[in-house]
Structure 1
Amino acid sequence: MVEVGVPKVSVVVPAYNCGPHIEKLTASLLRQSLPADEFEVIFIDDGSTDDTGERLDRLAAAHPHIQVLHTENSGWPSRPRNLGIERARGEYVFFADDDDWFADQALERLHDCAKTYDADLVIGKMAGHGRSVPRELFRKNRFDATLQNAPLIDSLTCHKLFRRSFLNEHGLRFPEGGKRRLEDHSVVVRAYFLSRRTCVLSDYTCYHHAQRGDARNVTSALLEPSSYFESVRDALDIVDANTEPGPLRDRLHRRWLRNEMINRLRGKRLLEAPEDWLEQVALETQKVIQDRFAPGVAAGLPPLQRAVAYLTERGRFADLRRLARWEAGIAGHGRVDALQLDDRAVTVSVAAEIRSADEPIGFRADDGRDVLVLPVDEIAPEVLDSTTQVRKARLDVVARRRETGDEIFLPVTFQIERVGAPDGTDSVHLVHRATTTIDFGALNGGRTRGSWFLKARITNAGWTEDARLPLLFICRADGAPPRIRDERKIWNRLRSAVGRRIRR
């Protein structure tokens, strides 16, 4: 039983020099469907030098469930979050950032899920605005998720609902002492291993994770390679302490190899990075691959990422740059082949493929295997073996609400067509085809008011690429039949282009 008068949720928010950027978060907190007397908000002003402190003080003066703690600047979110835990009275604690915001029913739905399933940890669906968020994790609700049965490892930010007694029981606190990158990872990974029940709430977008337009998020600056990779090793140590050598450990380790190392050494991210900084990152990555990872870690990556790991481990940094120039041209391309409207239901058939510089990515036959064709020589064929990825390749159709960023996976039937090269060689490329029927009376639980566009999401050979489809569905009210704007028509394309310029 919860003590009478104890808030259901404490929202803890570190704040530093956010000024007007905090308005979106504060407005979303004041709109929560959870009554104001059932949750509290604790802002920790981390020594702001602008008017952030005054803004928060005015807010707290007007709303009794909001409080502000002013501290000397620590330079990083860890200490403010820890102070927030100590100050919190709620049964559950949610950690938010000062430039993000909540959906209107987020706290109520998260708390209801936690109570219904007696969860120590609840992860609400996230929408990204200039930031990446997990995709596969939020494909469906998961009310008993573990590191073994769900892709929890894809979500390592702290923007989650934690039972406060769980945090205190296990001493879960954020590492302090300077600018500790990946400070979330040490807390969240331990929490995954310790949690008695973890839930993933995917049928409602709870949290909007944003990159500020002025790129002044506290973690947006270039990382310092040596200390950053020390933090990576700390996270790997937690995994090693809680697993035995084998497939599970390899799969968990793979998350850091993929996200914190390989993805920094490929495509546009590599090309835009300073040369000397990039060499340090490549050397640190080389050390971790050689010192910490079993062979199964890189072997479980898709072929393009395996190729990057292969080149990095061998110090072939010039080839990394050559490969990055090719991958920088990678994009998804999609088209609408058929469209049929029946009252509130719309059936759409699409075709899509992945291309680089307008040429489809290709595969060549090699001893019964599909081998990815790359513009770099002397990579072992087994590294580029794409047979499994080609078999698992898929095309999703995703509906995204333009006003909020909500994304919904639509049910599809899909197939893959293998198309031979026009030059008569033994290489092929893949055309993905899918058909979906969208019931605008049931989409997003019937909450359809607004403008929806479709994306073809192609997953193959290590890429997941979105291609915007030229259809916009406008619903005047929840569950209403949509008005369809077909942007394939020249006038609509021109109108959309003008509108985009005006909005900028």
Structure 2
Amino acid sequence: MGVPKVSVVVPAYNCGPHIEKLVASLLRQSLPADEFEVIFVDDGSTDDTAKRLDRLADAHPHIKVLHIENSGWPSRPRNLGIEEARGEYVFFSDDDDWFATEALERLYACAKANDADIVIGKMAGYGRPVPRELFRKNRFDATLANSPLIDSLTCHKLFRRSFLNEHDLRFPEGGKRRLEDHSLVVRAYFLSRRTSVLSDYTCYHHIQRRDGRNVTAAQLDPSSYFASVREALDVVDANTEPGPLRDRLHRRWMRNEMLSQLRGKRLLNAPEAWLEQVALEVQKIIQERFAPGVAGGLPPLLRAVAYLAERGRVADLRRLALWEAGIAAHGTVDELRRAEHAVTVTIAAELRSANEPVGFRDDDGRDVLMLPMEEIAPEVLDATAQVRKARLDLVARHRETGIEVFLPLNFQTERITGTTGPGTVHLVHRATATIDFAALNGGRTRGSWMLKARITNVGWTEDARLPLVFLCRADGSRPRIRDERKVWNRLRSAVGRRVKR
């Protein structure tokens, strides 16, 4: 066997049958088996994982297994995998995720076509968020300045192996290091000569196991967690000057790793002592590390959370979280038309909290977000710019694989006045989209597709499930439509007749 095109490195620990989906996906790759290798690093498993992997390696020459004493975290297994790898490129996978059939072939082809040091393949998330905006389109020369690369900081990417070795890019070892991906990936972004994003094919399926036994799924320790945040911020500071770019990159950690801990259901479910520790750590980083432009660039809801966190107003954070926990998108299908392989839908959607529309107060021509507490400066809640940029997307999701496709549409936002009180306004988004099932997802449509209306506004991105399911018997075929509004109406009528009897 010559030099493989790709080495897939997989840390494995007590994964049991959860690894089978990954294994099956690797064995059915369109890239020939003699053109890639898989390196499983068994991190001292105490179940039958080691034997399971050894049997796999015995049956498949392109699969090998390393057995090490338990390190307790994926960093050391990944680093050993890099040392063992012979491939031109290295991809880091988790043991309970899986690949699409053409993933390795397409990722490698993209890397070669663009001479890329890093290729990020589109991901589908299951109980885990994935960077939706980054995957809106292909980006063959992406940088931290010209694209939302900073939204993708997990290591599930294709890296040129010589690039990793040239810059000694390795995962931090020594105990359970939360966010171990971040410092490596951010350094790699700054050092990469070219980074490409492949968005027209879903390459990687990323899962949060329901049994909660992903290695990094347990509740974080505030002290070590925020020490890792500071390490990542240090990398940014070493490679940027004070100004808009640094603020935008810092904003990613403020939004995702800091303020996300102090919002909605996550805060409401947190133990009080833990919450106090997190709030204190967040307060210190905001005060010590961030310029005013970091919070200033956030949407108003997150500016409000940052405002309260910086001032240590934990009780008000809890009140705000209680209100935000009720936020949801609501959508309706107003019209449905079909012609051959195409379907045209007209929808309406809005954001509500506890079934009341999210409202804005008119303050001298500004739209000010209405929240359930006082004593927040009006400029913090000024939502005028975000209201103007509010967006409605229509997303088709393939039920069997989790693949999501943005659909082209025309939409407009209607301002409805007075619903939430005198001098107030709320937004209703209306859109029309035509879905061509001969072209959707490159014609790969076999199975069932559901529709979601996705509203992005003032700090939320919320999905409303629409009551339509499209069933395709073969790729590119004319869909059968199941209108669940009719199913529900029939069910409701049947229940009503039974009650009357």
How far is the alpha carbon of 1:97 from its aligned partner? 0.1
Structure 2 CA distance for aligned equivalents of residues 247 and 494 of structure 1: 55
- Superposition pairs for residues 46-125 of structure 1, below 5 Å? 46-125=43-122
Structure 1 CA distance for aligned equivalents of residues 280 and 172 of structure 2: 26
- Alignment-derived partner of residue 424 in structure 2: 427
Cα distance, 1:20–1:296 mapped onto 2, change above 3 Å? same
Structure 2 CA distance for aligned equivalents of residues 336 and 487 of structure 1: 11
Structure 1 CA distance for aligned equivalents of residues 231 and 83 of structure 2: 24
Structure 1 CA distance for aligned equivalents of residues 485 and 373 of structure 2: 37
Alpha-carbon RMSD: 1.1
Cα distance, 1:356–1:493 mapped onto 2, change above 3 Å? farther
- Aligned amino acid, residue 146 of structure 2: N
Deviation per residue, 1:441-483 (Å, 9 max, x gap): 0000011111000000001111000000000000000110000
Cα distance, 1:492–1:13 mapped onto 2, change above 3 Å? farther
- Aligned amino acid, residue 5 of structure 1: G
* 1:311 pairs with 2:308: yes
- Alignment-derived partner of residue 387 in structure 2: 390
How far is the alpha carbon of 1:367 from its aligned partner? 1.7
8 Å contact 2:357–2:420 — kept in the other structure? no
- Superposition pairs for residues 15-54 of structure 1, below 5 Å? 15-54=12-51
* 1:370 pairs with 2:367: yes
Structure 1 CA distance for aligned equivalents of residues 220 and 261 of structure 2: 11
Cα distance, 1:491–1:290 mapped onto 2, change above 3 Å? closer
- Alignment-derived partner of residue 239 in structure 2: 242
* 1:256 pairs with 2:253: yes
Structure 2 CA distance for aligned equivalents of residues 458 and 34 of structure 1: 38
8 Å contact 2:419–2:426 — kept in the other structure? no
Structure 1 CA distance for aligned equivalents of residues 477 and 217 of structure 2: 41
Identical pairs, percent: 82
Structure 2 CA distance for aligned equivalents of residues 253 and 201 of structure 1: 25
Deviation per residue, 1:430-449 (Å, 9 max, x gap): 00011100000000001111
- Alignment-derived partner of residue 344 in structure 2: 347
How far is the alpha carbon of 1:33 from its aligned partner? 0.4
Which range moves more in the overlay, 166-175 or 484-493? Answer: 484-493
Structure 2 CA distance for aligned equivalents of residues 239 and 427 of structure 1: 41
Deviation per residue, 1:66-114 (Å, 9 max, x gap): 0000000000000000000000000000000001000000000000000
State the 4+ residue runs in structure 1 displaced beyond 4 angstroms. Answer: 491-495
Cα distance, 1:445–1:280 mapped onto 2, change above 3 Å? same
* 1:146 pairs with 2:115: no
SS at match of 2:485: coil
- Aligned amino acid, residue 272 of structure 1: N
- Aligned amino acid, residue 481 of structure 1: R
- Superposition pairs for residues 411-422 of structure 1, below 5 Å? 411-422=408-419
Deviation per residue, 1:139-177 (Å, 9 max, x gap): 000000000000000000000000000000000000000
Structure 1 CA distance for aligned equivalents of residues 421 and 250 of structure 2: 42
Structure 2 CA distance for aligned equivalents of residues 453 and 89 of structure 1: 42
How far is the alpha carbon of 1:492 from its aligned partner? 8.1
Of 204, 208, 211 in structure 2, the residue corresponding to residue 211 of structure 1 is 208
- Alignment-derived partner of residue 201 in structure 1: 198
- Superposition pairs for residues 128-143 of structure 1, below 5 Å? 128-143=125-140
* 1:447 pairs with 2:444: yes
8 Å contact 1:487–1:493 — kept in the other structure? no
TM-score (norm 1): 0.97
How far is the alpha carbon of 1:205 from its aligned partner? 0.3
Structure 1 CA distance for aligned equivalents of residues 354 and 183 of structure 2: 40
Structure 1 CA distance for aligned equivalents of residues 421 and 381 of structure 2: 22
- Aligned amino acid, residue 293 of structure 1: F
- Aligned amino acid, residue 48 of structure 1: S
Of 483, 487, 490 in structure 1, the residue corresponding to residue 487 of structure 2 is 490
How far is the alpha carbon of 1:490 from its aligned partner? 3.1
How far is the alpha carbon of 1:422 from its aligned partner? 3.6
Structure 1 CA distance for aligned equivalents of residues 447 and 487 of structure 2: 23
How far is the alpha carbon of 1:491 from its aligned partner? 5.3
How far is the alpha carbon of 1:424 from its aligned partner? 5.4
Structure 1 CA distance for aligned equivalents of residues 489 and 149 of structure 2: 41
- Aligned amino acid, residue 127 of structure 2: G
8 Å contact 2:359–2:420 — kept in the other structure? no
Structure 1: state its 5+ residue gaps. 496-504
How far is the alpha carbon of 1:420 from its aligned partner? 1.1
SS at match of 1:82: helix
Structure 1 CA distance for aligned equivalents of residues 419 and 190 of structure 2: 52
How far is the alpha carbon of 1:421 from its aligned partner? 2.0
Structure 2: state its 5+ residue gaps. 493-501
Deviation per residue, 1:381-418 (Å, 9 max, x gap): 00000001001001000000000000000001000000
Cα distance, 1:424–1:253 mapped onto 2, change above 3 Å? closer
8 Å contact 2:360–2:367 — kept in the other structure? yes
Structure 1 CA distance for aligned equivalents of residues 454 and 441 of structure 2: 18
Cα distance, 1:429–1:188 mapped onto 2, change above 3 Å? same
8 Å contact 1:449–1:477 — kept in the other structure? yes
